[in-house]
Structure 1
Amino acid sequence: MNRITALFDIKYPLIQAGMVWNSGWKLASAVSNAGGLGLLGAGSMYPDVLREHIQKCKKATDKPFGVNVPLLYPNIDKLMQIIIDEDVQIVFTSAGNPKTWTSHLKGHGIKVAHVVSSVKFALKAQEAGVDAVVAEGFEAGGHNGREETTTFTLIPMVKEKLEIPLIAAGGIATGKGMLAAMILGADGVQIGSRFVATPEASSHMAYKNLVLEAQEGATELTLKELAPVRLLKNKFYEDVKELYRKNPSKDELVNLLGKRRAKKGMFEGDLEEGELEIGQIAGIIKEIKPAAAIVEEIIAEYKNSVLPEL
């Protein structure tokens, strides 16, 4: 039996990433109902909003689902208490030290996975007692590692050192991509960007349409002095590039970023001034499809893929 399907009691070793402003209850429940593991993106939710999404997700699916919690976000204590109170069984943590919350969550019977961008942090997560590690290459959208290690490089290096189940993330949107990650040593995959282009994603339609238009080179990892983030190139991105030409201080970067810019872009649809996070794989996403259809398509392509003869 596959280690990820056994760990999370799901049909397919395919996890939908808990992306801010995209991953609400509609998307998470749709992926879970299709046999994957849907995740709610708590990073863009106030505590009461998270509670509402958990309760709605429970009504929409009787399958396992989880919550992704960036550990550096405010209200972390309240978010974790709501997760425990609402009897969520699976938590994916990211952007912080896994030692902070892993033992507490596991003490309440919750399975914990942690997102990392390097072998070093994969081992730290394992030492912290997590049940699985998500190793994410820098192709991924949103916030990821400063090292710029690609998924194809990262997965075999982590696999060599890790004993617990390994989930590959970054640049995966197809069945063939899933197969490649599994051949390199992953036990499962986490997919984000492909699920942005779904009716169920909670993000703005204008943002989804812009993702469909993305070509090779449409994104770049930037703002490393704050928290590295991969962005679609728009006016805000150009403003960031212009500021970098002046060798800015960290405070100047913080002032330019301001507050609520990711919400402005992905949720409210401001394609000029908003922060538009997406992975490099957006260049092959050309159609909005229901989340269940995407899961079915990925699994069918995975199963039907034939290795080329040498």
Structure 2
Amino acid sequence: MNRITALFDIEYPLIQAGMVWNSGWKLASAVSNAGGLGLIGAGSMYPEVLREHIQKCKAATTKPFGVNVPLLYPDIDKLMQIIIEEGVQIVFTSAGNPKTWTTHLKDHGIKVVHVVSSVKFALKAQDASVDAVVAEGFEAGGHNGREETTTFTLIPMVKEQLEIPLIAAGGIATGKGMFAAMILGADGVQIGSRFVATPEASSHQAFKDLVVEAKEGATELTLKELAPVRLLKNKFYTDVKRLYESTPTKEELSALLGRGRAKKGMFEGDLEEGELEIGQIAGLIHEIKPAAEVVAEIITEFKAIKLPQL
């Protein structure tokens, strides 16, 4: 047992990231049942939709699971109230100030983890009394840090100064990647992109197929002036790149982005006009397989590793 398995009462120090439009109750419960920690991604859910997913997840697993709440979305107060009412024991927050909700959640007996992309914000999260920190390198999909610090650089720098448990994220999809992150100081890992390519992920099949087809160089971090996001290169991405040629204002970028781009791409399967968020590690994802098999494969590879001799 290590600090993460003890904190969450789980078998393996492996957390499935709460990804908008990908992480519903089916994926979260499947990962939890397989020995990891499944997270419901609340960022794409209206309050009552979140309640439904929590209730279905409770019915599908007796194991611990959590909810990821990006703090930049509306209706946060309603989402948090539902989380408390439904007895969720673990909350991962991201994209905002951890001080805003940590004390309130902990007062209700909830363990709180905050996602950061730098040493500075890891220490701020620790000062806010979170129970653990996810340090995410810029290889990760979705919203990301502006500094472009890689996971293998970020983890040892955070570890050097952090006292609470540390979870590594960004560019991890295999047992070898998990092992490497933990050798560098992480107590566990959070994995997102690999779980997109599962039958249980709530995203559109066309998006899952495109993730499997992706090769090295298929993604890029962009839209830093708004909220940095790593995208698969499609027509929408090309439109963004073309707009950058004219040195656009934030307002012009916002106008191009519009509303519902992520839903259009990942959930509805519009591979041309949608926002397709995935990590660089997509180039190492070659097939769609059940979440339980993904967990088993990662843990088996992790346990079988033998260090090379000098």
Distance apart, 1:275 and its partner CA: 0.0
1:308 Cα deviation (Å)?
1.0
- Unaligned 5+ segments in structure 2 are none
Counterpart residue number, 2:94:
94
Does residue 154 of structure 2 align to residue 154 of structure 1? yes
In 2, distance between residues paired with 1:100 and 1:276? 30
Secondary structure of 2:69 counterpart: strand
The residue type paired with residue 216 of structure 1 is E
Paired letter, 1:18: G
| Structure 2 counterpart SS, 1:224 | coil
Query: Percent identity of the aligned residues?
Result: 86
Partner Cα distance (1:39, 1:68) in 2: 6
* Structure-to-structure mapping, 1:97-136, within 5 angstroms: 97-136=97-136
CA distance in 1, matches of 2:200, 2:72: 27
Q: Which runs of 5+ in 1 are unaligned?
A: none
TM-score, normalised relative to structure 2: 1.00
Counterparts of 2:83 and 2:210, CA distance in 1: 33
1:285 is matched with: 285
- Report Cα offsets for 1:156-192 as digits up to 9, x if no partner: 0000000000000000000000000000000000000
Paired residue type of 1:209: D
Deviation per CA, 1:185-211: give whole Å up to 9, x if none: 000000000000000000000000000
- What is the aligned partner in structure 1 of residue 177 from structure 2? 177
1:142 pairs with 2:142: yes
Match of 2:259 in 1: 259
The 1-side partners of 2:211 and 2:296 are apart by: 21
1:111 CA drift (Å): 0.0
- Equivalent runs, 1:52-91 vs 2, <5 Å: 52-91=52-91
Displacement of 1:309 in angstroms is: 1.2
**Partner SS for 2:99:** helix
1:167 partner SS: strand
Instruction: Please report how far the alpha carbon of residue 100 of structure 1 lies from its aligned counterpart in structure 2 after TM superposition.
Output: 0.2
Instruction: Describe the SS at the equivalent of 1:295.
Output: helix
Partner of 2:273: 273
Matched residue SS, 2:259: coil
Aligned to 1:244: 244
What is the TM-score of this pair, normalised by structure 1?
1.00
1:77 match: secondary structure: helix
Deviations 1:44-72 (A, max 9, x none): 00000000000000000000000000011
Aligned residue-pair number = 310
* SS in structure 2 at match of 1:15: strand
CA displacement, residues 13-38 of structure 1 (integer Å, 9 cap, x when unaligned): 00000000000000000000000000
**Structure 1 counterpart of 2:206:** 206
The Cα of 1:236 is off from its aligned counterpart by 0.0
Q: Distance in 2 between matches of 1:250 and 1:266?
A: 24
Equivalent in the alignment of 2:190: 190
1:226 aligns to what SS in structure 2?
A: coil
Q: Structure 2 counterpart of 1:148, which letter?
A: E
Q: Distance in 2 between matches of 1:307 and 1:214?
A: 30
